[in-house]
Chain A
Amino acid sequence: MKPTKSFIDFAAFVSFFPQLVAGPIERASNLLPQFERKRKFDYHKAIDGLKQISWGLFKKMVIADNCAVFVNKVFATPDAYNGSSLLLGAIFFAFQIYGDFSGYSDVAIGTAKLFDFDLMRNFAYPYFSRDIAEFWRRWHISLSTWFRDYVYIPLGGSRVSKLKAVRNTFIIFVVSGFWHGANWTFIFWGLLNALYFIPLLLTGRNRKNLEIAAKGRMFPSISELAGMITTFLLTLFAWIFFRAQSIQEAFKYISRMLTKSLFTVPDILSTSRRSTLTLLLIIVLITIEWLGREQDYPIRDFLKRRSKILRWMFYYAVVLSILALQAPQQQVFIYFQF
């Protein structure tokens, strides 16, 4: 693209507040021209922005922060919990990090829309992915595409010998792990994802699932469902390394989780009503996201064909649920540390 000669446009691009702290990672090619063009207030876009902000706040304040309460406890003292509680702790972390970061992204994108800016989509229902390659096309898209364009493709991408393609895949995932911090846990998390990805690459199935699962249908096929569950479990396993303080702690967590007590009722549910509520909220999130998965964010066109009263009641329900169900303690955004 042509470099800008306007210092104000450049400074505004660099310091654009909605996405400044934690993304989406915007390229100049997308954002800079938006500073250069004349913007006008767009009513529909602003309403769209507000809806996206409220959905983002719901994911952050209701889902992520509630999950965090138990994740912090379970990961701090895994010895105090049975296997099923530890599994639940890992599931809670999967939704904590998703709600936290995709929630932030929604707030950033929604805020930008109020000013007639379009930021790139950062999450596209990653937990409905049917394989790990699809997951990485749907998770933190702005970072994945950045790595693809500035690391993977300069290394030759996949248009090289299979051996080099495997090497490139390892490099990109390890670099991605490093990007999160200088800790072996992140490196291991990156390596695990590379290991998940390589079989798909070698068999040429890494671009098999490009559309959203069950597009145009209400329910997924058995194979789609199996793919989604398998992919979720694989990412869940990797998230344990991402969340743990050290590799040893992660292995300790996993070894304690994979015991007979994995098949018992999670003791965390019986000791805390809030953990049961959190689990129910996750189910609500999954349901709403599944119903709205063909939209940029699920509540964009939710109840669009229904009466205005019903739609407004739904929006009130979202706002009131943020007020009523938010966690007792607010948590700092996880991605602010990266």
Chain B
Amino acid sequence: MKQFIVRVLVFALPLFLLAIIMEIMLRNIPNDYKYKAKYLTEHSKDIEVLILGSSHSWAGVNPYLIPEKAFNAAYGAQTFEFDLKILKKYEFPSLRKIIIPVSYFSYFSKLEGPYLCKYSLYYKLQTDGGLKALSEFLSHSFIGNVSRIINYYFLKRQAENRSNGLGQEVKKEKSPKSLEESGIDAALRHTYKDTKYVRQNVLFLENIIQIARDKNAIVILFTPPAYMTYTENLNAEQLKAMYQITEYILKKYDNCYYIDFLKDTDFTAEDFWDADHLNARGADKLTRKLVSFIENVTKRSN
């Protein structure tokens, strides 16, 4: 038995070493989560407007166009659960407004897979991803990890950080995928077979609104604009549920406001990067509309 254990350990040792070296190298590659976590650690006390949510707000809301001190803490596939965790962790003593997208999928999705490790490793948040979520090496495919290391360390290609100074991802003009193709793909991807996460997502959002209320802050909910190839392929029932839940939230909380841009005709094909993400031009348009909406509601409430 002893000989067996020694042999197995000797055999496994180079593999463990390889895994450890790769883990260290992967964690050292600059990425958005690391940048945002660092920014929030240093500046959370000054932030007045916090943008949370998924890629729809990450790419769609430009914090530079917001008059107060704003930061875009959204990220691709980020759910209400992690919005809440970020809000709780950094406290934001100066917070006045929270901007969160309520997309077609927001009440139905749950963050799973490789992104979980980013929240536990860089934001130091607790996740339910188990051991995998504590390691970059385990969270991504081996080939993917090798290519990330080669790209950053050997080919000296850009780091994985896609956010600008205030956390927004500024998307170029157009995605390589056509609006038709991306619309159908995204609508399918965002349509859920069941409603098992709805209840907890609603609770997470309510918790965010309650925290905002305790801070005398308002919450701006918005449904981001999307191109017709996306909106036409949405499941009517899921969409209806999204509106009904949002209506329920609005009735329940007086510090919460909502604006729907989903089929806003001011947004044309030129404003979209793909069918459900705005490019830089579209993001500026949306942010201006949001700022104007916020001004109106704050005037009204005063």
Contacts and interface: CB of A to CB of B under 8 A. Distances in A.
Given A312-B11, A315-B11, A316-B14, A328 B141 contact: yes
Nearest to A114: B4
Contacts of B15: 316, 319
A62 B31 CA distance: 30
Nearest to A319: B15
Contacts of A325: 143
For the complex of A and B, list the 9 residue pairs with the smallest distance between their C-beta atoms, beginning with the closest: A323-B142, A324-B142, A41-B1, A43-B4, A46-B4, A324-B143, A43-B3, A328-B141, A319-B15
Contacts of B1: 41, 43
A208 B42 CA distance: 79
Interface in B4-26: 4, 7-8, 11, 14-15
Contacts of B7: 47
A213 interface: no
Interface in B155-169: none
Interface in A8-66: 41, 43, 46-47, 50
Contacts of A319: 15
Nearest to B14: A316
A40 B142 CA distance: 37
Interface of B: 1, 3-4, 7-8, 11, 14-15, 141-143, 146
A326 interface: yes
A43 B5 CA distance: 9
A312 B142 CA distance: 20
Given A50-B8, A316-B14, A319-B15, A326 B142 contact: yes
Q: Chain A interface secondary structure, helix, strand, loop or mixed?
A: helix
Contacts, number: 23
A22 to B, nearest CB: 25
16 contacts: A41-B1, A43-B1, A43-B4, A46-B4, A47-B4, A47-B7, A316-B14, A316-B15, A319-B15, A320-B142, A323-B142, A324-B143, A324-B146, A325-B143, A326-B141, A328-B141
A325 B14 CA distance: 19
Contacts of A43: 1, 3-4
Contacts of A46: 4
Nearest to A321: B142
Contacts of B3: 43
Given A41-B1, A316-B15, A324-B142, 5 more contacts: A43-B4, A47-B7, A50-B8, A312-B11, A316-B14
Nearest to A41: B1
Nearest to B146: A324
A325 B15 CA distance: 16
A328 B141 CA distance: 7
A46 B146 CA distance: 32
A110 to B, nearest CB: 13
Contacts of B146: 324
A335 B1 CA distance: 33
A223 B122 CA distance: 63
Contacts of B8: 50
B70 to A, nearest CB: 37
A50 B14 CA distance: 17
Interface string A298-338: 00000000000000100110011001111010000000000
A320 B142 CA distance: 9
Nearest to A328: B141
A323 B138 CA distance: 10
